């Protein structure tokens, strides 16, 4: 996209979340706030950040687009580091089943769950997937998301998985939000592979991964490491091969049973392990030691009426915790950043400061972008959000409602609640 040059001035505070790596443990309470700060962006890159009196002495406002923040808070753009935003069809009926008490794994075993979305995604055209994906990205942008991770996984065959990744590339090209692509071909076991999971893993390794890598369709490979899906050894084999081929790796780990996914993530040096509702203390400690980001998805636990992941314990034990929405058509049909903030602070005992870092610099680390996004630091991309209020503390306080007024991506204003709502690439 075109990169802009601008000055943002008259802020009440610039919440920098300063850093070039994930914040761990007690570091997650440090936001690096500059009161009455200003930021300069040149050609999409942050050139200067600091107290306004100092910044404006050095830079001529006439050379820049100027945003008058009018005493409002400026933060880094949010990084939603775990979503499945490209899919076909919906599963509203399944949601009503869950409300009456049907178990999630029960629904999967009846052909629902992920496999229901697989059928509908296979039937959808690329044009349909693109149109719906762009609408979802529009909504994410209004919540302040400037970078999102998108996973495939609703094909479970060569053609549909490639189709999903191609659509992600198209939406990444056309939308202001930057998309990090993840191949998740091992997301579920279709009926024809029940009892033949090893064969499915081999086919992914031999037939799909080489094409994904050659065409640069994805940056990461992920696997649903879970009971009745893919076991530890199958997950280890897939991720090891993916890593050898040049992909970075992630895991859906220890969501439903304590299988040992957190330990596997540490063993393999994964960028992140996600969900972690049933992760062991040993696994948590090993992840912290190996700098694996613990990506927590409270919206999913909320939707499934499960206990939340022990994020408070993870932080206290020295982990780097990220928050993400897990937007998907089944277990969490929500891209609401405010909802996740509320759940994290009200029910998981994260402080507002920890939640901010979890959705910015640690979200960036969870997609291996902490060196370029996730904070307001000189040399990073000019990705920022301006709130309607004077403090970041309004984000969890205004429960379930977005406090984002403006979104800036690469030094360009791409969303303005008060004016034009969206700027395309």
Cα–Cα distance measured from residue 242 to residue 92, given in angstroms and rounded to the nearest whole number: 34
165 contacts 217 by C-beta, under 8 angstroms = yes
388's torsion region: left (phi>0), alpha (psi -120 to 50) or beta?
alpha
Token couple for 382: 């000019």
Owner of token pair 């009426």: 305
Token couple for 301: 């636990």
Q: Is 91 annotated as a binding residue?
A: yes
Q: What b/e string do you get for 155-166 counting C-beta neighbours within 10 Å, with b at 16 or more?
A: bbbeebbbbbbb
Token couple for 29: 């309470």
Q: Is 326 annotated as a binding residue?
A: yes
Instruction: Collapse the DSSP code of 20 into the 3-class scheme (helix H, G, I; strand E, B; otherwise coil) and give the result.
Output: coil
Non-local CB neighbours of 213 within 8 Å, separated by 6+ positions: 245, 246, 247
Q: Is 80 annotated as a binding residue?
A: no
52 half-sphere exposure, CB direction, 13 A CA radius: 18
Q: Is 283 annotated as a binding residue?
A: no
Q: What b/e string do you get for 353-390 counting C-beta neighbours within 10 Å, with b at 16 or more?
A: bbbbbbbbbbbbbbbbbbebbbbbbeebbbbbbbbbbe
Instruction: Collapse the DSSP code of 321 into the 3-class scheme (helix H, G, I; strand E, B; otherwise coil) and give the result.
Output: strand
Token couple for 344: 């994290």
Q: Is 153 annotated as a binding residue?
A: no
Q: Is 82 annotated as a binding residue?
A: yes
296 contacts 311 by C-beta, under 8 angstroms = yes
Instruction: Estimate the crossing angle of helix 232-244 against helix 261-268, to 10 degrees.
Output: 20
Q: Is 252 annotated as a binding residue?
A: yes
Cα–Cα distance measured from residue 415 to residue 303, given in angstroms and rounded to the nearest whole number: 29
Q: Which residues pair with 272 in a beta bridge?
A: 250, 293
What residue numbers does the annotated binding site cover?
82, 84, 91, 154, 187, 252, 255, 326, 328, 330-331
Query: Which residues line the annotated binding site for Fe(3+)?
Result: 82, 84, 252, 326
Q: Enumerate the known binding-site residues for 4-imidazolone-5-propanoate.
A: 91, 154, 187, 255, 331
Residues of each annotated binding site for N-formimidoyl-L-glutamate: 154, 328, 330
Known binding residues for Zn(2+): 82, 84, 252, 326
């Amino acid at each position: 996209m075109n990169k802009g040059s601008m000055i943002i001035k008259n802020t009440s505070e610039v919440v920098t979340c300063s850093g070039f790596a994930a914040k761990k443990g007690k570091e997650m309470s440090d936001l690096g706030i500059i009161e009455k700060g200003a930021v300069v962006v040149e050609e999409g890159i942050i050139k200067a950040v600091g107290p306004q009196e100092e910044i404006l002495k050095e830079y001529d406002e006439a050379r820049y687009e100027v945003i008058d923040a009018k005493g409002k808070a400026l933060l880094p753009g949010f990084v939603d580091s775990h979503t499945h935003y490209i899919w076909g069809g919906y599963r509203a009926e399944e949601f009503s089943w869950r409300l009456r008490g049907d178990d999630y794994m029960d629904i999967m075993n009846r052909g629902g769950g992920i496999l229901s979305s697989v059928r509908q995604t296979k039937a959808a055209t690329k044009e349909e997937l693109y149109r719906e994906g762009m609408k979802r990205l529009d909504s994410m942008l209004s919540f302040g998301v400037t970078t999102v991770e998108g996973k495939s996984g609703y094909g479970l065959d060569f053609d549909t998985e490639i189709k999903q990744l191609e659509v992600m590339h198209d939406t990444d090209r056309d939308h202001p939000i930057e998309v990090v692509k993840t191949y998740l071909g091992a997301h579920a076991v279709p009926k024809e592979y029940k009892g033949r999971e090893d064969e499915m893993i081999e086919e992914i390794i031999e037939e799909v991964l080489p094409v994904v890598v050659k065409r640069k369709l994805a940056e990461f490979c992920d696997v649903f490491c879970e009971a009745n899906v893919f076991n530890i050894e199958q997950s280890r084999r897939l991720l090891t091969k993916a890593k050898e081929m040049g992909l970075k790796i992630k895991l859906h780990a220890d969501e439903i049973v304590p299988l040992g996914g957190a330990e596997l993530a540490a063993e393999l040096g994964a960028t992140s392990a996600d969900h972690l509702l049933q992760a062991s203390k040993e696994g948590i400690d090993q992840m912290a030691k190996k700098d694996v980001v613990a990506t927590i998805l409270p919206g999913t636990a909320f939707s499934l009426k499960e206990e939340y992941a022990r994020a408070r314990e993870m932080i206290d034990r020295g982990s780097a915790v990220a928050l993400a929405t897990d937007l998907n058509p089944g277990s969490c049909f929500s891209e609401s950043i405010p909802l996740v903030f509320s759940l994290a602070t009200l029910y998981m005992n994260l402080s507002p400061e920890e939640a901010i870092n979890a959705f910015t610099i640690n979200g960036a680390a969870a997609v291996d972008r902490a060196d370029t996004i996730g904070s307001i630091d000189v040399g990073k991309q000019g990705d920022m959000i301006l709130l309607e209020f004077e403090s970041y503390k309004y984000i969890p306080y205004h429960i379930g409602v977005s406090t984002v007024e403006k979104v800036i991506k690469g030094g360009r204003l791409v969303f303005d609640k008060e004016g034009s709502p969206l700027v395309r690439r």
